[in-house]
Each structure stands twice: as C-alpha cells, then as structure tokens.
Structure 1
Amino acid sequence: MTLWASLLFVGCLPLYAAAHQPAQEQELTDLPLDKLLEVKVTSVAKRPARLSDSPAAIFVISQDDIRRSGAATIPEALRMVPGLQVARVDRNKWAISARGFNDTLANKLLVLMDGRSVYTPVFSGVWWDTVDTLMEDIERIEVIRGPGASLWGANAVNGVINIITKSAKNTAGGLLSASAGTLENGAVGLRYGGRLGESSDYRVYGKYFDRDAYKDANGKDAGDDWRSGRGGFRIDSRLSADDSLTVQGDVFHNSDGGAPINDYYPAPPYVRQQSGDIHSDGFNLLSRWNRRLAEDSGLALQFYYDQNNRHNPVQGSRFLIDIVDVDLQHDFSVGDWNHITWGGGYRYMHGDSAPSSTTAMVPDERNDHLFSLFLQDEIKLIPEQLRLTLGSKLEHRNLVGYQIQPTGRLLWTPDNKNSAWLAVSRAVRMPSWVEQDLRYNALTLPPSPPDAPLPTLLRLTGNRQFHSESVIAYELGYRAQWRRDLATDLAIYYNDYKSLESIEPLPCSALPAAGYVNCPLTFGNLLYGHTYGAELSVSWSPMDTWRLQGGYTYQYMSLKVKPGSGYTEAAADEGNNPNNQFFLSSSLSLPGNTRFDMALRYVGETPTQNLGAYFTLDAQLTWKPLSQLELSLMGRNLSSEYHREWTRSFAVTPTYLERDFLATVRWSF
C-alpha cells in the first residue's frame, strides 16, 4: 500500500515538479569519449589521479551507467566489468570474483564502500545481500582487476571494488523512487538533503524492498524471497579553507529466504532438510577528516565502526562481528620528480558465535588485531612520459604473523591519447575464522553391515596451522583513444599462486560409545597453480546520441596438488570459472527525452557447474516527461524464461532465474 500510495502521490505532482528546475549534474556517459580518460579515480594511488595515468587494470561504473543498466543491486551493476565473473545463485545470493576462483564464498576480492571494508573475517569474503545503499546516491564504482594489496592490504589478491557515494553537497533536495513488477512486490526509496549552517551539507535516506522468490528445479516456489530495509545519513563539513570532515552511517535489516539444504547427523535419520529465513542486522558509523597541507600535500584520518549480526532462527546459529578501524594517510612531493604516500592503520575484529546442531566455531569467541604500515613512491623518470611506482604494505595479525606485499609499476604515456603500463605485485589472503576454528558436519554415510556396522561422519574442522595464500602477479596494459568516438583498454595478466586452500583428510577413528566413526577433514595449504588471461573493453559512439560499450574476458586456470595431499577437487575448482565472457551494452537517446538501453551478456560453459554457455538480455525504456519526473520499464533475462547461473555451492541450494518486468518512477523535488 505504501508503494502504490507513493506512485499515486508522484503522479499528482507534475505541476509542482515543473515549477522547480534544479541544475542537472553531468554524468560520465554524457562526456565525449576523448574526455573519459581524464576522469579522476582514487583506488589506484589512494589519491585522485587521471584514469589515463593509472598503471592498473581499472574500470569505472558511473551513476549514469547504473541508471541506464537498470541495476537494482550493486552485484547487478558489476556485470558490465570485464574480468569479473558475476553469477547469481538465487534471489539474494551471488558468486562474484575477479580473474578466477569464483564461489559463493569467494575470498580473493576486497570490497570497500566509501573507504570502509565490507569483507567479513568469518570467511574472508562478502555477504553481498548486506552491501547496499540507495542506488541513485552512488557516484561511481571503481573496479581494479589484479592485486591492490600494496595499498589496501590482505585480501586484495585478485582485485578491489571501491563503491563511492556522492557528497552531500551533490544530493541537495529530495528524491523519491518507487518500483513494482512481476517479481518485485514493491520497492521504495526516499532521500532528502540540504544545508546545515554556512559550511555543512547533509542528506538522509531510507529504502525498503520486498522481492519475490525464484523457482526451484521442479518449477515451484524456491522460498528464496528477500526483504530488506535500511537507512542512513551523511554530513560533509568545510571546517576551514584547508580542512573538511565527513560523518556518515547506515543501519539495515535483511530477511533472506532460501531453498532447503541438508543437515547431517551421526544418528538416524542421518540427514534432515532444513529451511528458514536468515536474518541479518547491522549498522556502521564512519568519520573521515582531510587536511590540505600544501598544493600537493595532504593528511587524512579515517575511523569507522561496523557491526553485523547474522543469525538463522531455525538452526539456532549466529555470527556477531564487531570491527573498529583507524587509518592515517599522508602524501607529499619531494621536488618535482616524485610523490610519496605513506600511512598506517589498526583494525580490531571481535567475533561471537552461537552453534547449531551441525555447525560450530571453537572457540565461540575470538579477538583479532591487525596492524599495518604502507609506503608508496611515485617517481617521474621522464616528465609527462615515464613514471615508476614502487610501494609495499606490511601487515601483522595474531595467529598469522607478518606479511609483506610489494608492487612495482611502470607507466609510459607518449602522448595524451595513449598509455601503456606493466606491473609486478605480491599479495596475500590471510586465513579466515572458518579456516581456523570451524566444526561442521559435512556428510554422513549410513551404516552398511557387515563391513560398516556404524555410520561414518565426515566432519570439517578448522586448522590453526593454516597459513596465508599468496600470489605473484604479472600484468601488462594498454589504453588508446583511437578517435574522438573510439577508445579501448586492454589488460593481460599471469598469476602464480602458492599455498592455496585444500581440504585434507585425517585418519578415521571409531567411536563405539558415540555410535559412529569419525572421519575428520581439515584445511590445508597443499594446492598451487597459475592463471592467465586477457580483458578488453571498447567504447564507441557511432553518433552523439548513441554509445556502445563492450567487454571481452578470456581466462585460463591450472591447479595442482602437492605430493601427499588428499585433495581431489582441483579439477573441479578449475571448472568453476568460464574461459570466455562477453558483454555489450547500447545506450540510445531518442527524441522527446526518451532513452532506450539494452545489455547483452554471454557466459561460456562452466564444466564444474554442469552449465552450458548462455546469453542474457536486458532492455529498458525510459521517458522524462518533466525534468524532475522519470518513468521507466525494464525487462530482465529476456533471452529465456528460466536459466541457472550457478549450481554448486556450500550450504546453499541454487535456484532458477526468471524473466521478469519492472516499472519504476523517480521524482526529484
């Protein structure tokens, strides 16, 4: 009722909207292609730099890209990035990774939102259902493929995703959005911003959605419906001519359904199906102070607190994670030939868990302390043409020890239309709490007399001797502005991995008093291998009102086990990732303030998932009858009525994605 009341309210206000005409921001896709390389990014050097001057494989998703793609979630927006594999597992879960190693528990991709890390130390990955904000408030998403650990630290192994929201100054006034569709029971978002005194701007927002479930293999409701509500604020203050302060925070509640999964027990009936919503609640608070010391020198101090409480009422399991993080950064120039950026940080991570009958963390409470120090020097070997970047990050965490993650990057810019770069980097992924402390009933084999009179329980246990995974990455890239209407970006890489996670069997032991045979499994570091591949993106504007953007990804993975390992899933891990992916989007502006956008995506076969190659097609028609009023109709997964993008997951039953349609109204006031 709230949704339809909002739609009716919007429909009754065209006269008011016509009388209020705020200035329109210029989006990245409104820029000529020859200006896109001038866009400033911050993720490569931890300070603003031109995209063309960034010696890394970086891709920028603008707010207009998000709007024209029709993406309702951040994972959906990431589908357009070459080098990323984004597979939707069910209505509320994704498998997302860069350059291989994809899984629902993917752990080699660091994700940030406005400088706050959103990865969880529980499995060193991301709960994507909790990574959200008002989509209209995202300024851009910067995606680095390849290691970023020399600046951002552990877990930035295969890439960094940096989600950057707009400043409060750029969100003055109000915005109301509402949508409904064949699988969208209703979604409402509201934001309002303005001035606070003479030197501050603010905004507050709230959003809620109720998304219907997909289908299971029998064509029935899979139970993976998704409901979420969240709200937040941001205040940007100019304390003086040289000082600025940002304070922002969010609070959320999620209820995620899912298809039934199996729980295993060492006593009859040995296996039980369980289902029920997973609830997650959390909040965060971030403060960032910036001070300009000189024209080319600055100081930044950031603090944030983050709490995430995830629990399953049916199983009784729970994870409560508290994180406190402090980060200091200083950058300055030495003469005209080099620029130094250095800093350090401290992160405190507290975990508290409640066990279920099949899963537990031992101990159920732990505290981790992570200390870090980094230094990066950007050296101008030939002014305006050749630049060398050297840097490293040193980290120390209890139960892990010291980790050194260096990089060397060379950038050649012979003119303002071409740039080439190469890089060699080392990055690590530190052990997760699951890998060190888990106790999980993975499978029960019923008794089979006379040879096996007792049931056999395979129990996965954590290993405090499990140590960090590592990679040495070699990268080469070339960007070119061939004409005013044509630009390309190519990256080639080779990654050499050591000490990757494997699952190792331990000796079995009969427990007659308990009535079963215990066959434990544990985490080891007996897997190694390499990957290589290429990523190409192309932007072309056949005319001023039409832009095409395409991307192609090729990757190859080879994994092997060390002598003495009992791990048998290396080949399956290789087959978790398609060798070929292709993306093409078309953005066409039509007369009468109308836009028509389409996105075609091809994903090659995924052998381990038993998935053949598939296409997806999305299309969106948008009309702006008034400058403040926007109406859109979106069709998703138009190429097939049902399809799967993932089938093999830990403690998750994947479902079938459906074709659906969505109508959206946005009103600015």
Structure 2
Amino acid sequence: MPSLLLACALTVALLPASPLGAQSSGVIRGRVIATADSTPLAGIHVRVAGSAVGVLTDRLGQYRLVIPGGSVPLMFFGMGYQAWQTTVTVPARDSLTVNAALSTVSVVLPSTLVVTTASRSPERIVDAPAAVAVADAIRLADASVTGQLPQVLASMPGVFAPQNGINDFNVGARGFNSFLTRRVLVLQDGRDLAIPTLSAQEWSAMSLPLEALGRAEFVRGPGSALYGANAFSGVLNIISPAPRDARGSMLAVGGGELGTLRADVQHASASDNGRWGWRLNAGYNQSDSWDASRTQPGALAREYAAAIDTSRYTIAAPLPGFEVRPLIGQTKSGAPGLPGVTTGTPDPMSSAYGSARLDYYRENGAVLTAEAGTAEIRNQVFMTGAGRSQIASALRPWGRVALDAQGYNLMAYYSGRRSGDQWSLASGLPQLDDDDIWHVEGQLNRPFAGTRGSWVAGASLRSVSIDSKGTFLSAADDDRRDSYAALFGQLRYKLAPTWELLGAARYDGSNLYTAQWSPKAALVWSPTTSQRVRLTWNQAFQTPNPVERFLEQPAGAPLDLNALEQGLRLSPLGPALGGVPNGTLFTNSAAVPVLAIGNRNLAVEKVRSAELGYKGPLGGKGFVTVDAYYSTLTNFVTNLMAGANPLYAPWTAPSAVPEAARSALQSAALGVLGPGLTRLPNGGSAYVLSLGNAGRATEWGGELSVGYPLSSRLTLEANAAYFRASVQRNTFVVGDTLLANTPTHMGNVTLTYRAPGGTDASVTTRLVESYAWRSGFYNGRVPARQVIDVVAGHQLSPRVRLQLVATNLLDQRRYEAFGASVIGRRVLGRATYTW
C-alpha cells in the first residue's frame, strides 16, 4: 500500500492540465460594509456563484480571493443581509478591488450557502438532500481557545455530544450513543480521523487550531451510500481553506481556569505569481482536568454526590467497585490490585501539534496539495465501557496529497498512531497501540442533459495495520493488516423544474466482513427558489472495531473453583468423578482464568431510515429547517457478557466422566457459574466474557432549527430535538440490556451580537433532559442539565483581538454520561495578534 500511495501521488503531480478554464489566476480583494451605517461586516460569504470557491470576510470586513482569470459571477451573502451578486472580469496575474454594501432586508443564507458533504459535490445548502448544519470559520475561532470542537457541534440541531472529560466526547446524532461511539464518520479534508483499533475519535490529537479548520459540515442521518462504513448516523466533514485564501500570520496566547495554557502560531502566504501557497502552524495546549482517581470503594458515588441525588439514584461502579491504578502523577497506598488512598496531584494533560501545507494552483483552477502534520498528546483520560484508560503519551502523524479539479479529484493519505505507555485504570493492564492507515481515493463529477442532471462516481482502497504489542489483542490476531475497497456513485435528475430525483449506492468489501451494499433514494420538491421539501430513504452500516473482534486479555482474577469441585464430589455425582484427578475437574480448579475475548465472526450493524425534511425562509428575514425521521436498527453488537459468543459453548465435563452422568454434572456446574463457564480451543476450562450480534430497535424523532436576525447587530438561533426509541427485548441475548443513551428532549438557544469595530458576544443556553445511560459495564441515571456558555471578543486594534470564553458559566456540576467525570466551569481568555 505505501507504494500505491506513492504511485497515486506521482499520478496526481503529472496529470495534464484540463483545457477547461486554462488561464492564469487573478486576485479579488475588497471590503464588505453595512448599507445603513457603513460598519464592516464579519463572516460574510464571498463566493463564486454556483461553486464551492469562496472565503469569509474577517472581523474588519475584509476578504481576499484567488480565482482563475476571466469573467466570473461573484456573490456576497450572510444571514440577515440581502445577497448581492455582480459579474466581474478578473485580470490574469493581477488584482481587482470589489467592495460591497449589504442591506438588512431579507435573509438568504439557506438559499446561497454552499456545502459539499451531502452529495460529495458543491451545492446550495437548501438543495442538499439531507439535514445539514454548518459551523463557519468565525464560530470555530470563537471556541479555539478551548480546543474543543465537539462543544461547537453540540449547539447544532440534533447533535448530541455528552462530555466525559476535558477532551473526551461522545459525538453522535439520532440516538444510541455510547462511550467510544463511532456512529458518526469524522473526516478532515477527506482523512478519516478515527483511531483504527477503536474506530473512535481522539479529539485532543488534532494538529490544527480550530480557527484554521475553515468550516465544519455536519450531515445528520445515515450516509453510507456515499461514505461507507460508520457513516451510520451522520458525517462530520471538516474542510480547511487553501493557504491563498487564509493569508497572513497569527500569534495567539491564552489561558485560564484549570491551569489552562494555550499558544498557537500560524503563517499562510502565496507566491507573487499566485502559483504557490503555503501554510505552517504549531501549537501547544496544557490543562488540568475534572478527572479524579477512583481507587477506593464508593469513590464514584462520592464524586457524583455534587451532581445527582444519590439517595434517590443508585451510583454503583462496576465490580470490583474501584480502579486499581491512580491517575498519572498520583500514588496509591496499599498493594497492587487492591484499593488504597491516592495522594499527590495528577499531571496536567497536554498536546503539542503542528502541520505544514503546500499548494500548487494550476492555470485551470485545479489545486495540487501536499501536507503533513503530527500531534503528541500526554496524560489524556478516555472513557470506555470497560472503564477509564489513560494515555501517558501518543503520537498521531499524518500526511496527504490531493488534486482537486473541476470535475474530478484524487487523494491519498497516511494516518498513524504510536502510543507510548497507556493503561487501563480499571485493571492496571497496559494497552499499547501502533496503527497505520494507507488510503487512496478518486472521484468524478459530471453534468448531463444540460443542467438537468449530474452524476458522481468514485472508488477507494484502504489498508489498515494494527499492533497491540501483545497487550490486548490475541496473539493469533495481533500485528495484523486488513484491507478495504469501495465503489460508489450518485445520480440526480430534474424530472421537472420543481421536482428532482436522486439515487446513490455504495459497495464496500473487506476481509473482515461480508460485502455491503448501501443504497439511498431521495425525492426533492422546490415550491420556490428558497424552499425545499425532501423525502429520503437511506441504508447504512457500522463495522465492529478490531478490539471487539480480536480482544483477548484477563477480565479479572482467576476463579478458585476447588470448593465447587469438592462439593460435586460429595454429591450423588461424586462416583462419576472417580476417573478425574482431584483438582482437575475444571482443568486447574484452583485457578480458572477469567478472560475477555472478542468475536472474530461479528457481523455489521445496520440501519434503514426514512426522512422528511423542509428548508425555507422564516418571516422574510430568518430561516427554518424541520426534519423528521423513522429508523430501524438491527444486529447490534452486544455488551461484553457471558454466553454471547456461540464459539464459546457452555462448559462440558471431562472425557473421563461417564456419559450417563455428563449432562447432570454440566447442569450442576453451569447452574452455579452460568454460561460464562466454557472451554477454550485448547480444551482448558475458562470463564469467558465475549460479544455477539443480536437485537432490533426502532427510533423516531424530529429536529427543528430557526435563525432570525433581530436587528443588524443581533441574531437569534434556536434548535430543538425530540427522540424516542423502542427496543424489542425478545430479540436480544438474555441478560443484555440496550439503552438509547439519548434524552427525549434537548435544545439550544444562541443570541449573538456583532457591533462595528469587531466587538461581538454570544450566549448559548443548552437544555438537556435527564436520561438513562448504559454502555458496557456502566449503568445509571444522567441528570438533566441547563448549561450556559458565553463568548465575548473585542478588536482592540486592526491587529490585536481580545477574547473571553466561559463554558458552563454558572458552574452547574453535572456528569453527562454515567461513569464520566463531573463537568464544571471553565473560563478562559485569549489574545490574538495578526499581521
């Protein structure tokens, strides 16, 4: 696969220029102001109409856009302002100034904002055949000092992102959340950001600050028809700007509560002839956390006493009821494996990161990109269904080459993970992890029948290698390499001026699972140019991760079954044991291993979903989106439990036991220990916890989102989500319990103020109803929460900006998933200098 990546890179570099638009580039720059009072407007979209080429104005209303020379339609738009479009002639190898003044007449955001994720091609957000929300560069910059992208996502309609700790979040949509959730596929410029072993996100390991990410598009609902595995409930696509569209240098320093320190430096520029662009960045972030050691019985209940009424709700940690390892930086009294008092202060969490990008801008408008980066994280704590783990250190290197051209794009990337020391706090066992992903992908986009239709077709290949160094994967399956291949396509066609039909499908194959077809169909009605009603049907799948397939490690201390054996020998079954040496009924009855073992035969989970959606204007100035869905989910992966894996059948008596007594002896032993008592492939007795596939559930709900400019300076945004689920208990393994881990009601209200001169503020209130949580061994109630987040900023001078950010301003002490840490307030300040 590395040689395939190199070949792809060379192919990209040597591709001939397309004859389309083969002219030199020029520069458009200017300033956007409000018609009423001439104040500069920040966050206004400046875009080549009908394309994804564009930028946002900065906080001084300024913009700079590099595009191929010639005549182009240029559009200016933003929420609360009347869009303005003009056709300009861009001089080749020269610049042109185009200023704009926008009036506050009608909002056009839903009909003009361009997104690319829903259809893998540029389209107006109102035309996207899916539920889509966008966080733009200004919103991302407002949260940059926190380093917490999921905090931004949590304010989107229908997105549920319970926080486990400072940097650990469970980002999901439309129900059935969990620790290490992977139902939302997360991409950054086409790169899958998930950790291969867990298929989950490591949010602290991003190598760009939030303001450099550009924009984040979140598509809710199944997306496997275009994106494949794990686009189960949605796709988050982070799209960073080209260096030529983000010129300038930045130095930012910040800090505040929890001993937070953060520094970022970035430089982006382009050559005088406009052919080359480059970006460099580096940063460091350090913070204490709300995590506390739980090395004594009752520690979880004491920690949660500030968050919930512990006299009403039972707070019980999984057996044995305590963690055997303290947080890094602390020490525990007593013998290893036993409870003890923790002393000392936990070491702070930190991340150091950097990246570099080089673009070559061809005369035809195509962009050739080569970039690489890395992030090193230390002391991060993350939550799993089996307990908390802590990463002493881990390195996340990556690299990408891509060609983005009119009508096609090619991409290849590498992503790796190199863990240093990493431990399970619950068991004390090490968890080493060296992973590599090599991926190549190509896509074509073409219109047909004039402007009535278009098609997308593409293919991808991926190779993934995983090595746990013998710490948690079975010896036979460790240090492994798996392969994946996919073909996908989409066809859309206007049946009439107001009706459009869309169909898509994807074929995914791998050595790990049976080949999967993921279809999609949509019918879109356009009663007006700014209104859309859509009916869609999707099918998607989620793959078991390698840990679920190939796990093998102790799940507890060995069982001493000598007493059980002696009791059986003294029972009426005793004579049947005459040929079995004493102490060997259960192989080594004094020490029967207790093991957690994966299931290599796990099948994929599936979802089929129907959606009805509406997008349109509200009251002449605002916008509204309404989405309703009904989904059927099948073939869940069970919790780690006894009797779930058919490969580990109930224990059988030794061959020396006479046939007539075998059944009675087996029933007696299993009656005491249950289906977990089994025999390993080598014939030895063991108590095994494993996984299987089972279950069927339905979910239904709705999402409402509105945005309305109250004045030229004040904007109101609000959203609400309703969710219900029904689990068919008789389709699950006996003893398994599945919960949706999602509140019935939740919502957000954001009020944003932007004044002349770069002064702005926003207040977000997040309301979440209480709900039950079950993930792995953790089962309990999560309290309701009402959280207020505040962002305030002031442009002290054209180059200096000051900012204050408060998350959970009122310090409401709540845990957001049962087993996670109690989350408190965090107030941070930041100063940014740009030149």
Query: TM exceeds 0.5?
Result: yes
Structure 2 residue 421 is the aligned partner of structure 1 residue 307: no
Partner of 1:550: 718
CA contact (8 A) 1:57 1:145 kept: yes
**Distance between the aligned counterparts of 2:627 and 2:344, measured in 1?**
42
Q: Pairwise mapping of residues 458-469 of structure 1 onto structure 2 (< 5 A)? A: 458-469=594-605
Tell me which moved more, 539-548 or 62-71: 62-71
Partner of 1:664: 830
Post-superposition offset of 1:184: 4.1
Q: Which runs of 4+ in 1 moved over 6 A?
A: 219-222, 259-263
Tell me which moved more, 408-417 or 433-442: 433-442
Post-superposition offset of 1:119: 2.1
2:791 to 592, 599, 620: 620
Tell me which moved more, 424-433 or 40-49: 424-433
Partner of 1:247: 370
Q: Which has the higher strand share?
A: 1
Secondary structure at 1:523's aligned position in 2?
A: coil
2:815 to 628, 644, 663: 644
Query: How many pairs align?
Result: 623
- In the TM superposition, what whole-angstrom CA distance separates every residue of 1:632-651 from its partner, at most 9, and x where no partner exists? 12222122353211223xxx
CA contact (8 A) 1:533 1:556 kept: yes
Secondary structure at 1:150's aligned position in 2?
A: helix
Partner of 1:65: 139
Post-superposition offset of 1:494: 0.7
Secondary structure at 1:584's aligned position in 2?
A: strand
Partner of 2:288: 212
Q: 1:458 to 1:78 in 2, by over 3 A?
A: farther
**Distance between the aligned counterparts of 1:221 and 1:413, measured in 2?**
64
Structure 2 residue 463 is the aligned partner of structure 1 residue 348: yes
For normalisation by structure 1, the TM-score amounts to 0.87
- In the TM superposition, what whole-angstrom CA distance separates every residue of 1:127-164 from its partner, at most 9, and x where no partner exists? 22324521111221000000111111111111000011
The amino acid that maps onto 1:581 is: M
The amino acid that maps onto 1:527 is: G
**Distance between the aligned counterparts of 2:707 and 2:700, measured in 1?**
24
Post-superposition offset of 1:376: 0.8
Post-superposition offset of 1:602: 0.9
2:432 to 295, 300, 318: 318
1:45 to 119, 122, 128: 119
Post-superposition offset of 1:107: 2.0
Structure 2 residue 571 is the aligned partner of structure 1 residue 437: no
Structure 2 residue 545 is the aligned partner of structure 1 residue 422: no
Q: 1:221 to 1:359 in 2, by over 3 A?
A: farther
Q: Pairwise mapping of residues 335-374 of structure 1 onto structure 2 (< 5 A)? A: 335-336=449-450, 337-356=452-471, 362-374=476-488
**Distance between the aligned counterparts of 2:786 and 2:395, measured in 1?**
35
Structure 2 residue 161 is the aligned partner of structure 1 residue 79: no
Structure 2 residue 301 is the aligned partner of structure 1 residue 226: no
Partner of 2:269: 194
RMSD: 2.9
2:744 to 573, 579, 586: 579
The amino acid that maps onto 1:599 is: T
**Distance between the aligned counterparts of 2:594 and 2:81, measured in 1?**
58
Partner of 1:105: 180
**Distance between the aligned counterparts of 1:373 and 1:542, measured in 2?**
47
Partner of 1:497: 633
Secondary structure at 1:129's aligned position in 2?
A: helix
**Distance between the aligned counterparts of 2:443 and 2:679, measured in 1?**
56
**Distance between the aligned counterparts of 1:123 and 1:279, measured in 2?**
17
1:23 to 59, 62, 66: 62
**Distance between the aligned counterparts of 1:274 and 1:372, measured in 2?**
35
Secondary structure at 1:436's aligned position in 2?
A: helix
Tell me which moved more, 202-211 or 625-634: 625-634
Tell me which moved more, 210-219 or 343-352: 210-219
Q: 1:22 to 1:428 in 2, by over 3 A?
A: closer
1:35 to 92, 108, 122: 108
The amino acid that maps onto 2:107 is: D
1:238 to 361, 364, 384: 361
Structure 2 residue 697 is the aligned partner of structure 1 residue 529: yes
Post-superposition offset of 1:542: 0.9
Partner of 1:568: 736
**Distance between the aligned counterparts of 1:533 and 1:279, measured in 2?**
41
Secondary structure at 2:230's aligned position in 1?
A: coil
Q: 1:170 to 1:243 in 2, by over 3 A?
A: closer
Q: 1:261 to 1:137 in 2, by over 3 A?
A: closer
Secondary structure at 1:552's aligned position in 2?
A: strand
Partner of 1:289: 403
CA contact (8 A) 1:223 1:257 kept: no
Partner of 2:39: none
Q: 1:370 to 1:562 in 2, by over 3 A?
A: farther
CA contact (8 A) 1:316 1:355 kept: no
Q: 1:108 to 1:511 in 2, by over 3 A?
A: closer
CA contact (8 A) 1:178 1:664 kept: yes
Partner of 1:479: 615
**Distance between the aligned counterparts of 2:801 and 2:445, measured in 1?**
43
2:253 to 173, 178, 185: 178
CA contact (8 A) 1:222 1:655 kept: no
Partner of 1:600: 765
Q: Pairwise mapping of residues 143-162 of structure 1 onto structure 2 (< 5 A)? A: 143-162=218-237
**Distance between the aligned counterparts of 1:561 and 1:320, measured in 2?**
38
CA contact (8 A) 2:748 2:765 kept: yes
Tell me which moved more, 483-492 or 534-543: 483-492
Post-superposition offset of 1:285: 0.9
Partner of 1:267: none
Secondary structure at 1:602's aligned position in 2?
A: strand
2:130 to 56, 60, 67: 56
Q: 1:386 to 1:195 in 2, by over 3 A?
A: same
Q: 1:489 to 1:457 in 2, by over 3 A?
A: farther
Post-superposition offset of 1:287: 1.1
The amino acid that maps onto 1:46 is: R
**Distance between the aligned counterparts of 2:723 and 2:79, measured in 1?**
29
Q: 1:123 to 1:528 in 2, by over 3 A?
A: farther
**Distance between the aligned counterparts of 2:624 and 2:224, measured in 1?**
26
Post-superposition offset of 1:531: 0.9
**Distance between the aligned counterparts of 2:77 and 2:285, measured in 1?**
27
Q: 1:313 to 1:422 in 2, by over 3 A?
A: closer
CA contact (8 A) 1:420 1:479 kept: yes
CA contact (8 A) 1:224 1:257 kept: no
Post-superposition offset of 1:278: 3.3
**Distance between the aligned counterparts of 1:130 and 1:445, measured in 2?**
37
Structure 2 residue 198 is the aligned partner of structure 1 residue 123: yes
Q: 1:275 to 1:234 in 2, by over 3 A?
A: closer
The amino acid that maps onto 1:548 is: L
Tell me which moved more, 135-144 or 456-465: 456-465
Post-superposition offset of 1:488: 0.7
Partner of 2:336: none
**Distance between the aligned counterparts of 2:611 and 2:62, measured in 1?**
42
Q: Pairwise mapping of residues 82-97 of structure 1 onto structure 2 (< 5 A)? A: 82-97=157-172
Post-superposition offset of 1:477: 0.3
Identity of aligned residues (%): 22
- In the TM superposition, what whole-angstrom CA distance separates every residue of 1:230-265 from its partner, at most 9, and x where no partner exists? 1001222212325321222211100134499999xx
Partner of 1:632: 803
1:540 to 684, 697, 708: 708
1:411 to 503, 518, 524: 524
Secondary structure at 1:191's aligned position in 2?
A: strand
For normalisation by structure 2, the TM-score amounts to 0.70
Partner of 1:327: 441
Partner of 1:379: 493
CA contact (8 A) 1:27 1:63 kept: no
Q: 1:175 to 1:469 in 2, by over 3 A?
A: same
